[in-house]
Amino acid sequence: MNNKFNYYWLLILIPLGFIAWYFISKKENAPIRHLAYFGPKNAFKINDTTYHTIPDFEFIDQNGLKINRESLKGKIYVTEYFFTTCKSICPVMNNNLQGVYQEFKNEKNLWILSHTVDPETDSVSVLKNYANAHGVSDERWHFVTGNKKQLYELARKGYLLNAEEGNGGEEDFIHTQNFALIDKESHIRGFYEGTDSLEVQRLKQEIKILLKEYEYKNNSSL
């Protein structure tokens, strides 16, 4: 009787084990979600295109260090434009970015790059005080200043954060609440409304997706 009972249990448990293995295996091997690429493609010849890429730049951060594309090599980063004396959208944006900074404190290859739109006011020392006020204690969040024309051209033609025409002159001014997510190859992978808490949550989720995307690529190349 006992052997018969055990036999029936085996008949039930073995198929259940195979079913469980099938679904676990299917989940583990399922293709991961990939983020879209943004911006116009550049065509070199017929059927040969490359995604929009952030051009070269060079600015100075709150610690007096040069920040350029080489500095960001191998990094995922979130970028924005702000100014320290802003009393409207910038405090909300940077409080939200502070949350991103804290949530990903263990991700050394995730940076934040905040560009001033008012370089005449936002000197290195002013940016340093601003960074300290937001709890920045390492190299993962850079507040940068530099040549106004280069800052503005990068916002418009590089990061695509502002569609208005302008030449970076004295009367030109950019005031945008948008963030962009940039991958390790300097491609734009997402845009987010920096004052909207739901959009900031989406940014956090898509950072995780992008990190998984690179993890998957690294594992596939082994």
pLDDT score for 221: 65
Domain shared by 191 and 83, yes or no: yes
Please say whether the beta carbons of 79 and 182 come within 8 A: yes
Would the pTM count as exceeding 0.85?
no
- Other Cβ atoms within 10 Å of 125 Cβ, number: 10
Distance between CA 136 and CA 61 in Å, rounded? Answer: 12
Residue 108 is assigned to a structural domain of this protein:
yes
Q: What is the residue range of 139's domain?
A: 48-220
What is the C-alpha to C-alpha distance for residues 203 and 130, in angstroms, rounded to an integer? 23
Task: Give whole-number Cα distances, 70 to 39, 73, 106, in Å.
Answer: 21, 5, 22
Mean pLDDT, contiguous 10-residue spans, the chain (222 residues): 49 49 46 82 58 96 97 96 97 98 96 98 98 95 98 97 88 94 97 98 98 86 60
> Side chain identity at 91, as an amino acid letter?
P
Beta bridge partners of 66: 60
Q: Is residue 86 part of a domain?
A: yes
197 and 147 inside one domain = yes
- Per-residue pLDDT, 153: 97
Tally the domains of the chain.
Answer: 2
Helix (H, G, I), strand (E, B) or coil at 107: coil
Same domain, 18 and 55: no
CATH of the domain at 124: 3.40.30.10
Q: Does 6 share its domain with 63?
A: no
- Predicted local distance difference test score (pLDDT) of residue 219: 79
- Would 36 be classed as within a structural domain? no
